[in-house]
Amino acid sequence: MNGFTKGLLSLVLIGLAGISAYTWVMLTWSYGSGERAGYVQKFSNRGFICKTWEGELAMVSMPGTMSEKFLFTVREDSVAEKINANLGKKVALKYEQHIGLPTSCFGDTEYFVSGIVVLDE
């Protein structure tokens, strides 16, 4: 290998390492967190290579008013099973917000649900 090829290869490897480090930081560092309450009205497993659970929570502030939709992503199958088991019930979803992810492979939204509490039995 000549010097130019080694230099180009080094730049590519440094770039890949930088992108990997950035992605890891964005996935582990949380910009925000909280809870949203409502009724899960849509929940499906989507994706070709990177399978994630994508959902929609209908949040109703007062009876008779239009509901606001909260779009969310679930990456853990154990949490997805709990959500599926409680469809149709009023729930509170605990989430973390991860901004700046480089692709939609990690989820369609920036809100990643990490837990569920059933409010109505």
What total of structural domains would you count in the chain?
A: 2
- Shared domain for 51 and 7, answered yes or no, is no
Asked if residue 82 lies in contact with residue 119, where contact means CB atoms within 8 angstroms, the answer is: no
Cα separation of the two ends of the chain: 68
Choice among 19-28, 39-48, 53-62 with the minimum mean pLDDT = 19-28
- Shared domain for 2 and 23, answered yes or no, is yes
- Shared domain for 11 and 42, answered yes or no, is no
- Shared domain for 25 and 38, answered yes or no, is no
Q: At which residue do the structure tokens 């930081």 appear?
A: 25
- Shared domain for 72 and 98, answered yes or no, is yes
Q: What CATH number did the domain enclosing 101 receive?
A: 2.40.50.140
Number of alpha helices (DSSP H) and beta strands (DSSP E) in the chain: 2, 5
| Residue 45 predicted with pLDDT over 80 | yes
Residue 74's pLDDT band (cuts 50, 70, 90): very high
Residue 81 sits in which domain range?
31-118
Mean residue pLDDT of the chain comes to 87
pTM of the model: 0.79
**pLDDT single digits (tens) 18-32:** 888 887 877 777 788
- Shared domain for 61 and 111, answered yes or no, is yes
